[in-house]
């Protein structure tokens, strides 16, 4: 399968990109008929000197759309009587710039050097980019039911966006993710994910990279490779094929957590071969089906791609996907309370080996 990409502009100047399977090509010529004011983004980064981490302050996002009724979904294709974010009457996979972005390349740059009265809280414009990725034009479908061809097209789109956004000056990390299910605060139910291009390396990736570098200095070994080798033959594998292994991590922090690692060490999605992308789809759809069928209603989840930073640690990094759910039992969510929210110390009441067994035992037809 090849991918045809068509780039156009929305009424307010934002970019929209259509990605089509070249076996089913469609001309993408629809014009956005809406009268939209230009987007203005005033977000800023503030440095937390105590933690050594950046915080994005995006107070302009308060007015964004929150769970509209299905007949007003902004991610469904446009109809003659109703224009949405996607001018075409149908689409396969589409990507566009978020109308309410936390980070934007056109962000207002006139920010002071530091927060008022806090010289150590360095301030920078919220430069970067936030994109929305719609996986299908069908409002009621979920990723788990996309089918292999469409899921593969999404993987290619994630890889293409990662490569392109990595080339933007000042971008340090590209993050593809999906928040799935109202229980975790999804504001639009149409099947979609997001891509953030950050102007800094995120705290999680910085921390993991530091651990890998420390391990290299102390033992000469590869931390990711050691973890992978152990997990591939360990008790927590959920499912695997030649190119990918899905396992519950030994120190899982969420009630249901699975990590998907490619067998070959690669820094990011663009580095995956065609065979590895196909094999990922097979394993990922299998794991998502287990998440969907484990309880009487599908589990909400967050799917989080951990890619190498754009400019550092690329030889050390090993691409992986973290998939986790906050639901610990039917109707019960894990809340990040005092220990987790206050101290960042996770306490979980599920045993990782039991979770792996429970997911393995789900019947996936
Ligand atoms: Zn929709």
The predicted pLDDT at position 341 comes to 93
Ligand 1 mean position, distance from CA 293 (Å) = 23
Write the CA distances from 169 to 98, 153, 200, 337, integer angstroms. 19, 27, 12, 38
Ligand 1 mean position, distance from CA 56 (Å) = 28
Ligand 1 mean position, distance from CA 73 (Å) = 5
Ligand 1 mean position, distance from CA 54 (Å) = 33
The predicted pLDDT at position 64 comes to 60
The predicted pLDDT at position 67 comes to 61
Task: Report whether 244 contacts 228 (CB < 8 A).
Answer: no
Q: In what order do the strands lie in the sheet with 53-57?
A: 53-57, 44-48, 118-125, 114-115
pLDDT tens for residues 205-253? 999 999 999 999 999 999 999 999 999 999 999 999 999 999 999 999 9
The predicted pLDDT at position 65 comes to 60
Ligand 1 mean position, distance from CA 311 (Å) = 37
CA-wise closest residue to 87 among 271, 303, 96, 357:
96
Neighbours of 13 (CB within 10 A): 11
Report DSSP state, residue 342.
I
The predicted pLDDT at position 183 comes to 77
Q: List residues with catalytic annotation.
A: 192
Match 């951990």 to its residue by tokens.
306
Ligand 1 mean position, distance from CA 137 (Å) = 7
Report DSSP state, residue 232.
H
Round to whole Å and give the CA distance between 350 and 251.
11
226: enclosing H helix or E strand: helix 223-232
The radius of gyration of the chain's CA atoms, rounded to the nearest angstrom, is: 21
Ligand 1 mean position, distance from CA 78 (Å) = 10
For 238, list phi and psi in degrees, rounded to 5.
Answer: -95, -45
Neighbours of 250 (CB within 10 A): 13
For 109, list phi and psi in degrees, rounded to 5.
Answer: -105, 0
The predicted pLDDT at position 333 comes to 85
Ligand 1 mean position, distance from CA 329 (Å) = 28
Tell me if residue 257 falls in helix, strand or coil: strand
Round to whole Å and give the CA distance between 133 and 177.
9
Task: Report whether 104 contacts 41 (CB < 8 A).
Answer: yes
Taking the CA atoms of 106, 112, 115 and 120 in sequence, report the sign of the dihedral they define. positive
Any bridge partners for residue 95, and if so which? 17, 133
Tell me if residue 209 falls in helix, strand or coil: helix
Ligand 1 mean position, distance from CA 190 (Å) = 4
Ligand 1 mean position, distance from CA 75 (Å) = 5
Query: Helix 352-360 crosses helix 274-293 at what angle (to 10 degrees)?
Result: 100
Task: Report whether 146 contacts 135 (CB < 8 A).
Answer: yes
The predicted pLDDT at position 69 comes to 72
**Residue ranges of the chain whose pLDDT lies below 50:** none
Neighbours of 221 (CB within 10 A): 11
Can you spell out the DSSP letters for 122-166? EEEE--SEEEEEE--S-TT--GGGS-HHHHHHHHHHHHHHHHHHH
């Amino acid at each position: 399968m090849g991918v045809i990409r068509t780039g156009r502009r929305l009424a307010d100047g934002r970019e929209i990109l259509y990605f089509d399977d070249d076996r089913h090509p469609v001309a993408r010529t629809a014009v956005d008929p809406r009268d939209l004011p230009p987007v203005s983004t005033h977000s800023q980064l503030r440095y937390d000197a105590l933690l050594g981490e950046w915080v994005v302050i995006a107070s302009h996002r308060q007015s964004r759309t929150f769970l509209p009724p299905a007949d007003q979904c902004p991610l469904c294709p446009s109809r003659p009587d109703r224009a949405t974010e996607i001018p075409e009457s149908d689409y396969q996979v589409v990507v566009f710039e978020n109308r309410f972005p936390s980070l934007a390349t056109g962000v207002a740059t006139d920010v002071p050097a530091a927060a008022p009265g806090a010289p150590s809280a360095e301030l920078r414009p919220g430069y970067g980019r936030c994109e929305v990725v719609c996986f299908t034009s069908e409002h009621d479908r979920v990723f788990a039911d996309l089918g292999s061809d469409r899921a593969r097209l999404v993987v290619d789109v994630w890889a293409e966006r990662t490569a392109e956004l990595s080339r933007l000056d000042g971008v340090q990390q590209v993050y593809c993710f999906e928040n799935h299910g109202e229980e975790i605060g999804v504001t639009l139910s149409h099947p979609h994910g997001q891509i953030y291009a950050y102007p800094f390396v995120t705290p999680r990736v910085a921390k993991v990279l530091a651990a890998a570098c420390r391990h290299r200095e102390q033992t000469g070994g590869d931390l990711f490779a050691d973890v992978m080798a152990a997990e591939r033959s360990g008790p927590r594998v959920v499912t695997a094929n030649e190119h990918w292994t899905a396992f519950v991590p030994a120190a899982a922090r969420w009630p249901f957590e699975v990590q998907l690692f490619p067998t070959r060490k690669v820094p990011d999605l663009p580095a995956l071969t065609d065979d590895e992308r196909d094999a990922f789809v097979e394993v990922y759809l299998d794991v998502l089906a287990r998440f969907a069928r484990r309880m009487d209603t599908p589990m909400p989840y967050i799917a989080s791609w951990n890619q190498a930073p754009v400019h550092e640690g690329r030889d050390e990094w090993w691409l992986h996907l973290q998939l986790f759910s906050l639901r610990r039992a039917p109707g019960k969510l894990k809340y990040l309370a005092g220990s987790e929210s206050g101290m960042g110390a996770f306490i979980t009441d599920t045993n990782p080996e039991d979770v792996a067994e429970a997911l393995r035992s789900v019947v996936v037809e």
